Structure 1
Amino acid sequence: MKAFSGWSIRTHLILLVAFAVTPALAIILYTGLEQKRNSLNEAHSRCSALVRALAGDMGNTVSSTRQLLTTLAVLPQVRNMDAPACDELFREILRSDNRYLNLQLFRPTGESVASVVPPPPGLNVSDRKYFRDAVRRRTFSAGEYIVGRTVNKPTFNFALPVTGDRGELLGVVQAAINLERANAIFDRSHFPAGSALVLLDGTGTILFHSADARYQIGTKDDQGIFNDMRAARGDEKITLRTSGGSYRIMAYRSLQLAGDPTPYLHIRLEVPEEAILTDANRILFRNLWFLTFAVALAAMAVFAYANRVITNRARRLVRSSMLLASGGQDVQVGIPYSQGEFGLIAQAFDDMARTLASREEERTTFVRELQAATRQALDERAKTEAILASIGDGISIQDREYRILYQNGTSRGWMNDQSGRFCYEAYEQRLHVCDNCPVRQTFEDGLVHTVERRLTINGRDTCLLVTASPLRNSADDIIGGIEIVKDITDRKMVEIAQKELTGKLAESNQQLQHFAYIASHDLQEPLRTITSFIQLLARRYQNKLDKDAGEFIAFIIDGAQRMQRLINDLLEYSRVESQGAPFVVFEAGDAFRAATMNLKRRIEESGAEITHDPFPAITGDETQIMQLFQNLLSNAIKFRGDEPPRIHVACAETPTEWEFRVTDNGIGIDGQFFERIFEIFQRLHGRGAYSGTGIGLAVCKKIIERHGGRIGVTSEPGRGSCFSFTIKKNLSEKGDAA
C-alpha cells in the first residue's frame, strides 16, 4: 500500500482506466454511486440555500422588528402610555405588515396598556422571558416558546424597554412574530414528500413544523439532534442522521442576538434520503447501457485529461498552499468552483484562506482595542489617584490579612509610608489585630463601621474618626477594606468647650431664677406695709385733706397695687422652672376644663362661646398646662372686638408631638409684633385700654419650652388670631424625651 501511495495522479488514472474496462457490473455500481452522490450534493445545496434563505428572512424580520420597536419606544404616545393612541397605531402597523400577529405595550410591572388583539382580563407578562430580559438588561430581547395569552396560539416574541429622558423604565413594547411566513417559503421550494421544516426556540422547544406528524408544537426536540444544532454555534451545517428509522439529510442554522449568550431561534430542514435517491436510482437503471459505452470513451481520454486538467490544478493547489504557509493572506487558488471535485477543493481552500485573513484582521483589531483600553485604564487610575491625593482625610486600603496596600498623601503625611506592613503593627505597634478594629468588623459582616481613636501624630495628641467599608470584587466577594481617617481633634475641643459653657449657662440660669424668686418674695413685705399705711391714711384723713392730697394718695395706692401685680407675675414666671411639678400622664381636657372654670365669670360677662376638639392624654405638668390654657383663653376674651368672643381649641397628632391651636375672632395683631408679644412685660396697648402686666404670653412660652415644644401666632388686625403650640410626646418626669 505504501508503494501505491507514492504514485502520481497520472499513474492512478491509468490504473482506473484499467479497472473501468473490467466487468460491466463494476461500471454500473460505480456510475450508480456517482449519480447518488450528485443527487445528495444537489439536495445539500438546495437544503443549504433554503436554510440560508429562511435565516436571512428571519434575520431581516428580527432586524425590522428591532427597528420598529426602537421607533415605537421613542414615540410620545408610547412613552406617555396613551392606550387609545397606541391601539390605533399598532392596528395600522399590523394592517400594513403581515409579519406580526400582535403588538403590545406593557407597564414596568407587566400589565397590558395597549394591544391590537384584546388581552384577557388581568393579563400580566412579568413572568415571560422576553419581558424579564428587556427589563433587566434594558435592551432588545427575544423570548422562548409560549402560547400567547392574547393571540391564543404559539408565538415568538421580541421586546424592547421604553425609557425616559433620564433612563428610567417607563414600560416595555413587544411584537409577536408570525411564523407562518417560514412555511410559505418552504412550500415554494417544492421539496420531496416527507420533507419537514422545524423551528425551535433557544431551549429546544418546537415553535413550528410543516405538517409533520412526528413533531408536536410545544414539545422538546430530539436531544441528540438539538445538541448538534447548538454545537454549530450559529454556522450553517448539513449532516446525515437516522430519524424515525430512516436516514434524513438535515440542514440547520441558529440565530442569535448580539450580546446574547444563547441563540433565540434554530432552523432545521429535514429531507428523506430515500426520496432524494428515487430519481437517481431510476436514472441509474436507465443508463446502464450508456455507462458501458461512456467508460470506454473515458479510458481513451483519461490520459490527456490527466495531463491538461488534473495535474495543472493540483499544482495550483500546491502553489497556493505554499503561499499561505509563507504568510500570504489574500491567497486564491484560481480554479472555478464549478469544476467538479477540484472546484470543491478550491472553494474549501479559498474559504479557509478568507477565514484565516478575517481572523488575522480580528486579532489585529483586538490588539489595537486592547491597547486603547489599557491606556484608558491607566488614565482613569491616574485620575483616581489624583482625587485621593487631594482629599484632606487619610485614606488607606488593606487586604484580608490587614496588610496596607495603598495610602493617599494625607495618610502618608500622618503615618509615613507604611505600604506592605500590617496595620496593627504600623499604627498601634501591636502583634495582632486590635479588638475594636473597624476593618475586622467590616470583614465579618460586610457593613460600614466607625470608631474613634487617639494617636500621637507628629508629636501631637490627636483624636481620629476611623471609618471602614468593604472593598468587593466583581463577584461581590470582600477582598479588602477601605479605611478613611478624619482628624476631629478641633471638633472634640469645641464639644468640650460647648459642654462647659452649657453647664455654666445652666448654673447661671438657675441662680438668676433663684434671685428673681427671692427678690420678688422679699419685696412683698415692704409693699404690703406701704399699701396698708396708705389705705389707713386715706380712711383716717379722708375729709381733712384737700383734693390734690386725695388724688396723690389714690396714685400711690394704684401704683402699689400695680407693683403688687408685677411682683406676683414675676413670681409666677420664675416658678415655671423653679417650682414646676414632675411630669405625669393626664387628660388635657381636665386642664382645659379647670381653666374655663377659673374664667367662668368673665366668660359669662363677655358672652364668649368656647368650642374644642376631643383632647388627648398627654405627658406634662397639669397645673402649668391649665395655666397655659387659662392665659390664652383670657387673652382671647380680653382682646375681643364688637362681637361676642368665639373661641375654638383644635388638636392634631404628629408622630412625635401634639399640636394645639387656639383661634378667636378678636381684634387681631399686626405681623411686626408676632415675636415681641412673647417677651416679658411687653404690651401693645396702653393701661387705659386693656389691663395687665404683659407677662402672660411670656409665661406661656416658658411653659411650652419646658414641655419641649414651640409656640407662635398668626393673625391680621381686625380678623382674629390663632395661637398654636406643640407638646412633645413621651416626656420623662424631667421633661426629656423618653
Structure 2
Amino acid sequence: MARFLSSLRSRLMLLVLLSALPALGLTLYTGFEQRRIAAESVKESALRLTRLAATNQAALAEGARQMLISMAFLPQLRDSSSSECSAFLAELHKSYPSYSVLAAVTPEGDIYCSSSPSTEPTNIADRQYFQEMLQTRDFVIGDYILGRISNEPVLPFIYPVYDETGQLVYAVLATLDLDWLDSLISAVRLPEGAAILTVDDQGTILSRFPDPDAWVGKQLPEAPLISALLSRKGEGTLETTGLDGVLRLYAFTILESNSGGFAYVGVGIPENIAYAEVNRATLRNAVSIVAVTVLALIAASYISKVLLLDQIYALLNSTNRIAGGDLTARSRVPYKAGELG
C-alpha cells in the first residue's frame, strides 16, 4: 500500500475515489431509508385490509342478529317434532346463502331442525357460545370453530327464545363460513406470493390462502408466525417467516366474539415484493455512482498526466541534469502563470 501511494498519480486517483465515497454512502443510506418507508407503507396497506375484514365481520354479525330475531318466532320452528321444520329451514337457507347452516336447538343443546340435516344426532351443549347464551340469555357471537354439521371453519351466532314464564323454549342458530373472507380477498388485488390466514386463539388454522387444503385444521401454536400473533393480543405488524417458509411483512388484527375468545386475521406480503422497487432504485443509483467514479478515475489518470505529471517529470529531469553539471539543460515547459509555469 505504501509503495502504491508513493506515486503521485495513485494519490490523485485515491483522492478522486475518496471524493466519491460520500455519494455512495448517501445512496446506500437513502436506500435503507426507502426500504424502511416501503415496509411501513406495505404494512399499513395490509393493516387496512385486516381492519376491513374485522369491520365486515362486525357488519355480518349484526346482520345475523337481525336475521335470527326474525327467525325466532316463526311458527315452523316451535314444534320440535315437525317433519316440515328442516325442509322449511332448507328453503329459508336459499335466501341466506352466506350462512353454512341454519338450525333450531333445544334447551339441552340438541339440534332438532337444520337446513343441512345430519344423519347422526348433533348436540352443542358443550360449546362455549351455547353456555354463554344460557348465562347471558341473549344473542351471542361464538368463536371460530369447526362446525359439527358442516365440518368447516365457521363463526356461530345463536339467539334464545323464551316463553311467557321466562323458560328457554329453543334457540335459533346460524353459522357463517369463511366464504365472506374469500370474497373480500378476491375483491382486493394482492401481489403475487401474498398470504392471508385466519387463526383461532388456540393456534388452529381456520383459513389460509393460498393452499387451504394443506393448512386448514392444523394446530400450530409453536410456528413462528402463529406464536407471534398469539403473543400480541391486538392488532399490529411484524416481519417473520410464514407457514411456507417465505419471509413476509405481516399485518394482523383480531376478529372478536362476545364469548371470550378471538381469532386473528393476518395478511402477509413477501419481502422481496415489498422491497423490489426500492432495491432496483438503490442498485441502479449505486451502479451509476460506481460507473461515474470509474470514468472519473480514468479521466483523472489521463488529465493528471497531460496537465501535471508530464510537466513535473520534465522539471525533475532538467533538475537532475543541472545537478549533474549539465548547465545547458532546459525543461522546455512553456512559461505561464501558475505553480509550474
| TM, length-normalised to structure 2 | 0.68
Q: Pairwise CA RMSD of aligned residues?
A: 3.2
- The residue that corresponds to 1:252 in the other structure is 252
| Pairing of 1:24-43 with structure 2 (within 5 A) | 24-43=23-42
C-alpha separation between the residues in 1 aligned to 2:97 and 2:192? 28
> 1:84: how far off?
5.5
Greater relative contact order (CA < 8 Å, ≥ 6 in sequence): 2
Q: 1:93 to 1:28 in 2, by over 3 A?
A: farther
| Pairing of 1:209-224 with structure 2 (within 5 A) | 209-212=208-211, 216-223=215-222
Query: Does residue 276 of the first structure (1) align with residue 280 of the second (2)?
Result: no
Given that 1:208 and 1:217 are in contact with CA atoms closer than 8 Å, whether structure 2 keeps it comes out as yes
Q: 1:285 to 1:165 in 2, by over 3 A?
A: same
| Pairing of 1:626-641 with structure 2 (within 5 A) | none
> 1:109: how far off?
2.0
C-alpha separation between the residues in 1 aligned to 2:209 and 2:274? 18
Secondary structure at the aligned position of 1:96 is classed as: coil
C-alpha separation between the residues in 1 aligned to 2:198 and 2:210? 12
Q: 1:147 to 1:262 in 2, by over 3 A?
A: closer
Given that 2:225 and 2:242 are in contact with CA atoms closer than 8 Å, whether structure 1 keeps it comes out as no
Given that 2:143 and 2:261 are in contact with CA atoms closer than 8 Å, whether structure 1 keeps it comes out as no
Q: Deviations over 1:482-505 (max 9, x none)?
A: xxxxxxxxxxxxxxxxxxxxxxxx
> 1:252: how far off?
1.2
- The residue that corresponds to 1:238 in the other structure is 237
C-alpha separation between the residues in 2 aligned to 1:158 and 1:53? 20
C-alpha separation between the residues in 2 aligned to 1:59 and 1:182? 13
May I ask how many residue pairs the two structures share in their alignment? 271
> 1:51: how far off?
0.4
C-alpha separation between the residues in 2 aligned to 1:83 and 1:219? 39
Q: Deviations over 1:224-243 (max 9, x none)?
A: 6445445544x421122244
- The residue that corresponds to 1:54 in the other structure is 53
Structure with higher Rg: it is 1
- The residue that corresponds to 2:183 in the other structure is 184
| Pairing of 1:462-473 with structure 2 (within 5 A) | none
Given that 1:251 and 1:268 are in contact with CA atoms closer than 8 Å, whether structure 2 keeps it comes out as yes
Secondary structure at the aligned position of 1:23 is classed as: helix
C-alpha separation between the residues in 2 aligned to 1:43 and 1:122? 48
C-alpha separation between the residues in 2 aligned to 1:221 and 1:142? 25
Given that 2:139 and 2:159 are in contact with CA atoms closer than 8 Å, whether structure 1 keeps it comes out as yes
Q: 1:279 to 1:105 in 2, by over 3 A?
A: same
Q: Deviations over 1:651-682 (max 9, x none)?
A: xxxxxxxxxxxxxxxxxxxxxxxxxxxxxxxx
Secondary structure at the aligned position of 1:280 is classed as: helix
Q: Which amino acid aligns with 2:105?
A: F
Q: 1:282 to 1:188 in 2, by over 3 A?
A: farther
C-alpha separation between the residues in 2 aligned to 1:203 and 1:181? 22
Identical aligned pairs, as a percentage?
27
| Pairing of 1:364-513 with structure 2 (within 5 A) | none
> 1:209: how far off?
0.9
Secondary structure at the aligned position of 1:284 is classed as: helix
Q: Which amino acid aligns with 1:271?
A: I
- The residue that corresponds to 2:310 in the other structure is none
- The residue that corresponds to 1:651 in the other structure is none
C-alpha separation between the residues in 1 aligned to 2:212 and 2:152? 18
Given that 1:232 and 1:253 are in contact with CA atoms closer than 8 Å, whether structure 2 keeps it comes out as no
Q: Which amino acid aligns with 1:97?
A: Y
Q: 1:291 to 1:34 in 2, by over 3 A?
A: farther
Q: Which amino acid aligns with 1:256?
A: E
C-alpha separation between the residues in 1 aligned to 2:281 and 2:164? 69
Q: 1:248 to 1:214 in 2, by over 3 A?
A: farther
Q: Where do 5+ consecutive residues of structure 1 fail to align?
A: 1-19, 293-738
Q: Which amino acid aligns with 2:171?
A: V
Secondary structure at the aligned position of 2:94 is classed as: helix
> 1:104: how far off?
0.6
Q: 1:34 to 1:87 in 2, by over 3 A?
A: same
> 1:289: how far off?
7.5
Q: Which amino acid aligns with 2:270?
A: P
> 1:146: how far off?
4.4
C-alpha separation between the residues in 2 aligned to 1:25 and 1:104? 68
Q: Which amino acid aligns with 2:271?
A: E
Query: Does residue 63 of the first structure (1) align with residue 62 of the second (2)?
Result: yes
Given that 2:86 and 2:117 are in contact with CA atoms closer than 8 Å, whether structure 1 keeps it comes out as no
C-alpha separation between the residues in 2 aligned to 1:37 and 1:214? 35
